[in-house]
Amino acid sequence: MSAKQQPGASDLLAVVVTIASGTVAYADIQHFDNSGGDFDWGLGPNRPDGGNPYLDQQFLDITRAANDQLGAVNPYSSPGWGYDQTYTTFRQEVYYDFSWNHATAVYTYAGLLVSGYFIEGVGAGTQIGGLGQQFYTGFIAQDYYGFNSLIPEGVRSYLGARIKVNYETHYGWIGVVRNGFELETFGWAFEDAPNTPIAAGQVPAPGTLAALAFGAAALGGRKRRA
């Protein structure tokens, strides 16, 4: 290819501007960090050891930042909440609490990756949104006939999430650490592009547009020197 046929810096910069302006469709990941614990998704005082099991309803909306969560406010009945908020929220709750048996669950109109009646905790890099995966409400843990949970205790793992945004399906993840019957979260993310799988723990690649712009500027400099 001759020098005249090779793209110049202005061409690459045009690509950068086009992508940044949204005129070219491309996937992007919205990631929200909660490593500082700004949002407490826990069960509050009514853990499965007594008290009223239905008072604590901690709602996590994975399309909102940690400091923008409504927490215990019920999105299913709050004025001003619409379809999107209802189908992007996940409620951690005490499912039932008896002297001989306790259970906790995450309830959602959207869906979490489950195996049977239990929510799965998967490792980083696991594809969320694959064929054959089931998304529903499920148990965090229960101790009927012995303790049962599919989320490892005390280590970082991920919950696969399926939500609805503008009536379209999107996939995401919630990073959690299980402490007994309860989940703490260190962050969450979802894929902007509808019906596009996401890897558990996947976050936006840093500096994509900046790298393109730098490459365009470097190419322009080489041409001037030539």
Phi and psi at residue 185, to the nearest 5°: -120, 140
| Residue 44 pLDDT | 57
pTM of the model: 0.75
Instruction: Over range 214-219, report the average pLDDT.
Output: 43
Instruction: Over range 76-81, report the average pLDDT.
Output: 63
pLDDT band at 10 (very low <50, low <70, confident <90, very high): very low
Q: Residue ranges of the domains in the chain?
A: 28-203
Residue 144 has pLDDT above 80, yes or no: yes
Question: Which residues, in sequence order, are CB contacts of 125 under 8 Å at separation 6+?
Answer: 199, 200, 201, 202
| Residue 27 pLDDT | 59
Residue 36 has pLDDT above 60, yes or no: yes
Cβ atoms within 10 A of the Cβ of 147, count?
12
Strand ranges in 116-202 using DSSP code E only, listed in sequence order: 118-119, 127-128, 134-136, 138-142, 156-165, 168-179, 182-191, 198-199
| Residue 7 pLDDT | 37
